[in-house]
Amino acid sequence: MLKIGRIAGSHGLKGNVILVHELEDTEWMKLELPIFLELNSGSFIPFFVEEFKPLNASEFIVRFDDTPTLEAAKKLTGKIAYVEAGKVKIQTENSPRLWLGFTINTDDNQTLGTIAEVIENGPQWLAKLFIGQQEVLVPLVPEFIKKINERLREIVMDLPEGLLEVYLTKE
């Protein structure tokens, strides 16, 4: 699944929601693809778009066929939205979003984890992964990336000393 955004809230009284999307290309909305919402952790439920219209450059007003009321729409607020990977053109060929599902290894062959989410934070990209039960954000900056192996779906990184310890020493 490819994360495309988040439901920011309800809009109006007829069950519409505001979808804040993260992709530059919005042509995918015309493809009538189902949008999957993660209602529970790891549970992706398809919602079929009945109507959509752009609100601004990063938001759509969307009406799903399963949300006919304001109350139904409110229950979706804050849910992360996805589409099936491969069905949508990602921003550019070099986008770090392409690394979703890649394994991050250190330059001394230690596996840190698999990229669960790629987050754009201003000009910087972050990879979210889990080390044990701990969520960790790793900056995807060229200075830290030593090698990207597309075939093996792995990224070898040389992370600054102490970066991971900041996360792993939290209780």
For the stretch 101-137, pLDDT in tens is: 789 998 888 899 998 888 877 788 888 888 888 888 9
User: What is residue 168's three-state secondary structure?
Assistant: helix
CA distances from 105 to 30, 99, 155, 168 (A): 38, 13, 6, 17
Please give the pLDDT value at position 2. 75
170 confidence band (pLDDT: 50, 70, 90)? low
Query: Higher-confidence residue: 92 or 158?
Result: 158
Do residues 16 and 63 make contact, with C-beta atoms less than 8 angstroms apart?
yes
Backbone φ, ψ for residue 29 (5° rounding): -65, -25
Enter the tokens of residue 89.
């053109």
Residue 40 one-letter amino acid = N
Contacts for 42-51: CB closer than 8 Å, 24+ residues apart: 44/1, 44/82
Output the CA angle 125-131-137, nearest 5 degrees: 20
Name the β-bridge partners of 58: none
Please give the pLDDT value at position 93. 47
Residue 4 one-letter amino acid = I
Does residue 31 have a pLDDT over 60?
no
Please give the pLDDT value at position 57. 74
- Ordered structural domains, the chain, with CATH: 2-83 (2.40.30.60), 96-168 (2.30.30.240)
168 confidence band (pLDDT: 50, 70, 90)? low
For 44, left (φ over 0), alpha (ψ -120 to 50), or beta? beta
Average of per-residue pLDDT across 6-24? 86
For the stretch 67-76, pLDDT in tens is: 889 999 999 9
For the stretch 82-96, pLDDT in tens is: 888 766 655 444 567
169 confidence band (pLDDT: 50, 70, 90)? low
